[in-house]
Amino acid sequence: MAKSARLSGFPERLPAERVIEKTIIDTLEHTFALHGFSALNHRAVEPISQLAKDGEIDKEIFAVSRLHSEGTERNPLGLHFDLTVPLARYIADNANELSFPFKAARVQPVWRGERPQAGRYREFIQADIDVIADGDLPGHFEVEIPLAVADAFSRLAPLGVPGIKIVVNDRRLLEGFARGIGLTNIQAVLRCLDKYDKIGPAEVAKLLAAEADADEEQQRLCLELAAIESDSPDFADEVRALGVDHPLLEAGLESLTTLLRAAAVRAPGVVVAQLKIARGLDYYTGAVYETQLIGHEELGSVSSGGRYDSLVTVGKKNYPGVGMSIGVSRLMAFILGETSEIRATRGTPSAVVIAVTEEARRADADAVAATLRSRDIPCEVSPNAAKFGKQIRYAERRDIPFVWFTDGESGHEVKDIRSGEQTTADPDTWTPAEDDLWPRVYRS
């Protein structure tokens, strides 16, 4: 096949880059397991009727059809654009077999037909964690989710991921405040406040007037609320000082202060209440979260989510949940940036190449490789019986640190091609240094 033009928005990693990406994924999956989340893997496709909300498609969905279906498919399919919609379907399909509260973790690709740009792709990997309850979701899970994400990012620090700030708010707080000052178009208020950073307070005030029918006093109060930011639970005093009263407002304040108290102990300085955050998706009903890389806030949110109380309904039963999503591909774009110092020691898993003296004796090299593999040492046999110098250069090109000779002066010998040191070796006992056993990620 001739070389093809690259498809914009569909990244394919080089082997060493994939080592870095796989290290991120392994770290996230390990952290999620430590927090008790069960690993799932959703199917790639869902009925478009499930991906579209109320018949409206607000995402650029890739449709899927069989080449020879001849237009007979009654329920067209699309690639999922996130991992929340598939989870809702999964819960509905398997509710009788699951134990609740159910804690789910998924790290897999999603697809969106949006215009590619820096750090944003059409095919990308997300890492999601969610807690789904049967009937009632205790508020402490709204605390657990962002703290699990904070733990995950702390474990990614050696890979060059900087510190994070998880900014949090609560939809109940926003709705209660809006209703408490006499506004009724809650979705309009949320949309306006969510644009605070992009367009500034003066323009938000104009939008509140135009879209939420807010008068000058209501605009002033909304802007004063939006300006509140704190990592201390004492922020609630600033809110109450605005003189607004509503039960939903109090419920939201209680939830956020609980989260900040817990974060002050388990992740000091990481979680910050930012009352202008609303999040765009309309199914959030409680806590909402966005995550920024400290010093790189221009990248936008690299992890986000919130609580949703009505996403999953089976008959008369309701399954509320709370979750967050981490943009793995977005992190990769940052880690592989022009100024990155993060490297992989090699792209191939092999720690050693077993040299072939002559083709008639290839079985000798195969036997050594089989013994090493039985001891979990990754290796490969040289592709040909060229001169030893050429076989060593083959290892060098692949950054493989060792070459094994089956008939050295003292029998089996292994050569560290970086130092030139060559020593006697036994396939039953020889083990490379831990840093050389598998590819690893390091800072150059």
Q: How confident is the model at residue 280 (pLDDT cuts 50, 70, 90)?
A: low
Q: Which residue ranges form the domains of the chain, and what is each CATH number?
A: 9-143+309-344 (3.30.930.10), 164-293 (3.30.930.10), 350-443 (3.40.50.800)
Per-residue confidence (pLDDT) for residue 69, from 0 to 100: 67
**CB distance 80 to 44 below 8 Å:** yes
Confidence check: pLDDT of 59 > 80: no
Confidence check: pLDDT of 440 > 80: yes
Confidence check: pLDDT of 426 > 80: yes
Confidence check: pLDDT of 55 > 70: no
Give the chain's mean pLDDT. 92
The residue with tokens 């897999």 is: 108
**Average pLDDT over every residue of 59-64:** 85
DSSP for 30-54, please give it: HHHHHTTPEE----SEEEHHHHSBT
Residues making up the chain, counted from first to last: 444
**Ordered alpha helix ranges (H), 267-387:** 328-335, 362-374
**Average pLDDT over every residue of 276-292:** 86
The half-sphere exposure of 59 on its side-chain side, counting CA atoms within 13 A, is 22
The whole-angstrom separation of Cα 331 and Cα 160 is 10
Cα-based distances in Å from 321 to 104, 130, 190, 367, 437: 11, 7, 21, 54, 42
Kindly state the DSSP code that residue 418 receives in the 8-state scheme.
Answer: T
Q: How confident is the model at residue 7 (pLDDT cuts 50, 70, 90)?
A: confident
Task: Encode burial over 310-319: b for 16+ CB neighbours within 10 A, e otherwise.
Answer: ebbeeeeebb
Per-residue confidence (pLDDT) for residue 4, from 0 to 100: 66
Q: How confident is the model at residue 13 (pLDDT cuts 50, 70, 90)?
A: very high
Per-residue confidence (pLDDT) for residue 207, from 0 to 100: 94
**Average pLDDT over every residue of 386-409:** 94
Taking the CA atoms of 98, 99, 100 and 105 in sequence, report the sign of the dihedral they define.
negative
Whether the bond between 349 and the residue before it is cis, its omega within 30 degrees of 0, is no
Structure tokens at 250: 């109090």
Confidence check: pLDDT of 118 > 80: no
**Average pLDDT over every residue of 204-227:** 94
Q: How confident is the model at residue 90 (pLDDT cuts 50, 70, 90)?
A: very high
**Average pLDDT over every residue of 221-240:** 95
The whole-angstrom separation of Cα 113 and Cα 119 is 15
The whole-angstrom separation of Cα 49 and Cα 31 is 34
Per-residue confidence (pLDDT) for residue 316, from 0 to 100: 84
Which residues does residue 322 pair with via DSSP β-bridges, in sequence order? 131, 307
Query: Chain-centre distance of CA 400, in angstroms?
Result: 31
247-266 helix and 171-180 helix, angle to the nearest 10 degrees: 150
**Average pLDDT over every residue of 220-238:** 95
Q: Other CB atoms closer than 10 Å to residue 183's CB: what's the count?
A: 20
Which residues does residue 271 pair with via DSSP β-bridges, in sequence order? 166
**Average pLDDT over every residue of 20-36:** 97
Per-residue confidence (pLDDT) for residue 312, from 0 to 100: 85
The whole-angstrom separation of Cα 264 and Cα 234 is 12
**CB distance 50 to 89 below 8 Å:** yes
Per-residue confidence (pLDDT) for residue 249, from 0 to 100: 96
pLDDT digits (tens, 9 = 90+) for 129-157: 999 999 899 999 999 999 999 999 999 99
Per-residue confidence (pLDDT) for residue 73, from 0 to 100: 65
**CB distance 59 to 47 below 8 Å:** no
Structure tokens at 320: 């509320």
Between 64 and 29, the higher pLDDT residue:
29
Between 233 and 114, the higher pLDDT residue:
233
Per-residue confidence (pLDDT) for residue 117, from 0 to 100: 78
Confidence check: pLDDT of 439 > 90: yes
The whole-angstrom separation of Cα 416 and Cα 423 is 9
Per-residue confidence (pLDDT) for residue 324, from 0 to 100: 97
CA end-to-end distance (rounded Å), the chain: 37
Confidence check: pLDDT of 58 > 80: no
**Average pLDDT over every residue of 318-339:** 91
